[in-house]
A and B are shown apart, each in its own frame.
Chain A
Amino acid sequence: MMYLEQFSYLLASVLFILSLKMLGSAKTARKGMQYAMFGMALAIVITLIISGIVGPTQIIIGMVVGGLIGGVVAKRIEMTSMPQMVALFNGFGGVASTLVAYSEYIRFTGTEAMDVNITVILSLFIGTVTLTGSLIAYAKLQGLLPGRPLVLPMHQILNLLLMLGAIGFGVMNVMEPSVQMWALLIIGVAAIFGVTFVIPIGGADMPVVIALLNSYSGLAASATGFVLSNNVLIIAGALVGASGLILTQLMCDAMNRSLFNVLFGAVGTDDSTGEAGAPGGGEQKTVMRYTAEDAAMIMDTVQSVIIVPGYGLAVAQAQHVLHEMDQLLTARGIDVKYAIHPVAGRMPGHMNVLLAEANVPYDVLYEMDDINDEFQNTDVALIIGANDVVNPSARTKKDSPLYGMPILNVDYARTVMFVKRSMGAGFAGEANPLFFDDKTMMVFGDAKAVITGLVKALKADE
């Protein structure tokens, strides 16, 4: 029976690995996830059977309650709210690990060897940091807390003290495993550290933080696996840990920031985005204002359009009408593509999901590196609700906070159209010189209203 259990866990681990491999392509991704589901079901069922624990009602209750909550959330959640959901789920993963580790700890207090004790401490610490850190990230994304960085006096010293405290209590716990107070103190310190760790990070940097906490939730599961000497937990947790870490690195690269700078730099303005981004320099520059009808007229003469969507598009819920527009343009024989910057949206890959929800086929969505050379041969770059990711200052202006960030080369297109609510600067607070360029058309207004106007004008033309 022991072998059946171990082989089932091995099979589950293989299925998880296969599912991640199949996520390498949009064609196989859905099937791959079904492999993972099967692996999970197998691991759960085998655990229930082998341990002879089909009996106790509390287990059934726990599974049903958790499953129902998860199911309802998954059905109801809006795609724009995916970052919040992932943040919250990261936290749930963390708290589950803490609870299991603590449960093991009090069951075997004092009887376990030192190495088990160390893994318990790690599990308690990582799990709790993941929980409170994720709750803060959730609150920031949901708007329950202000998005701007909240820095306490002597913040870094406080963090350092908390870390030292955790290590100190950990050592005490190893020396006196039977004293529960040490374990509780570790949890307490970890809970505070989770908060002080995330709270100084600005709303615009939340994609990095969710990815990092995603990694932690995996590590927490792994740590629990260490406590129980259970390999499927260790493997699944390690896979998730690696995944979160890679995404964290990709997000940092896309903003040209180091992880250290994101975590401790306290960069960023209020995420409601100020209107304060007045153009720099003394000279009075003017922008050319156009209407949706003007924009539609331009579309009469062009052959290629690249659409650059930003989060403003999603805020205005304009994805569906945008897709209607791209279909109208395509019907006229215009080549329409979408250029997706890695930090478009509020979590890794978010913009792709928002567009997929609006039925935009994924083969017209292009990554930055794949499309950047095409702008120079493109008639119109249509930028909707994005700013920093197309700001040429990132290339040239050395003192700009954006300097060095990889951007979409929209300024190489023959005509640049901005659909924007206002002249406001982006998250970075850096004015965009492209607004004042001769080939730039500014169409001010709510993205949905403007695109709807464009669609109307295009239809009237036919």
Chain B
Amino acid sequence: MESLIVSIYVFTLAVFIGFELITKVPPLLHTPLMSGSNAISGITVVGALLAANSDNWELSTILGVFAIAFAMINVIGGFMVTDRMLGMFKKDKKTEQGA
């Protein structure tokens, strides 16, 4: 029960940090924010690795392997597409020189 309480603590504080940070993200970057969050929620891969860690081919292992694959799609796909998008955002050269 104690570990559950700790988890609830961590979760609650993290939600507050999330609210504070995300309200400061400009609408300009909301799409990269969403694809970036796709990538970050791929953190489930850590749990999936633990689940798939077995020398026996039990059902739990197989489920873990599928979980790894799905989570990795999010991790790699999410980060790559976010980076691709953010690379497109450029400032006007003229105003940069003018400033």
Binding site for B on A (CB under 8 A): 9, 12-13, 16-17, 19-21, 23-26, 29-30, 33-34, 36-37, 40, 43-44, 47-48, 51, 53, 56, 58-59, 61-63, 65-67, 69-71, 73-75, 77, 79, 82, 85-86, 89-90, 92-93, 95-97, 99-100, 102-104, 106-107, 113, 115-116, 119, 210-211, 214, 217-218, 220-222, 224-244, 246-247, 250, 340, 342, 347-350, 352-353, 356-357, 359, 361-365, 367
Contact = CB atoms under 8 A, between A and B. Distances in A.
Interface string B41-85: 111111111111111011111011111111111111111111111
Given A71-B80, A74-B78, A240-B40, 5 more contacts: A33-B36, A103-B60, A103-B63, A231-B10, A247-B33
28 contacts: A24-B21, A25-B26, A26-B91, A36-B39, A40-B42, A44-B75, A53-B52, A58-B65, A62-B64, A63-B45, A63-B72, A65-B69, A67-B72, A67-B75, A75-B80, A79-B85, A82-B85, A92-B73, A93-B41, A95-B70, A97-B44, A99-B63, A103-B61, A107-B60, A234-B14, A242-B16, A356-B85, A367-B28
Contacts of B6: 229
Given A63-B72, A102-B63, A90 B7 contact: no
Interface in B1-52: 1, 3-4, 6-7, 10-11, 14-19, 21-52
A362 B91 contact: yes
A217 B53 contact: no
B45 A99 contact: no
Nearest to B64: A103
Contact of B88 (A63, A218, A357): A357
Nearest to A347: B31
B41 A240 contact: yes
B97 interface: no
A445 B96 CA distance: 36
Given A66-B69, A74-B76, A243 B22 contact: yes
Contact of B53 (A56, A218, A247): A56
Contacts of A225: 7, 11, 47
Chain A interface main SS type? helix
A25 B33 CA distance: 11
A86 B34 contact: yes
Contact of A20 (B4, B22, B28): B22
B77 A71 contact: yes
B38 A239 contact: no
A363 B91 CA distance: 6
Contact of A367 (B19, B22, B26): B26
A236 B73 CA distance: 17
Contact of A349 (B11, B32, B66, B68): B32
B84 A74 contact: yes
Contacts of A93: 38, 41-42, 44, 70-71, 74
A103 B87 CA distance: 39
Given A20-B25, A86-B34, A349-B31, A106 B83 contact: no
A234 B67 contact: no
A247 B74 contact: no
A224 B42 CA distance: 12
Contact of A23 (B29, B55, B70): B29
A349 B82 CA distance: 13
Nearest to A51: B53
B46 A70 contact: no
Contacts of B73: 66-67, 69-70, 73, 89, 92
Nearest to B93: A361
Given A40-B75, A100-B44, A246-B23, A29 B64 contact: no
| Residue of B7, B43, B53, B92 with most partner-chain A CB within 10 A | B43
A100 B35 CA distance: 22
A163 B73 CA distance: 30
Given A36-B40, A59-B49, A230-B47, A66 B27 contact: no
A30 to B, nearest CB: 4
A89 B40 contact: no
Contact of A29 (B19, B32, B45): B32
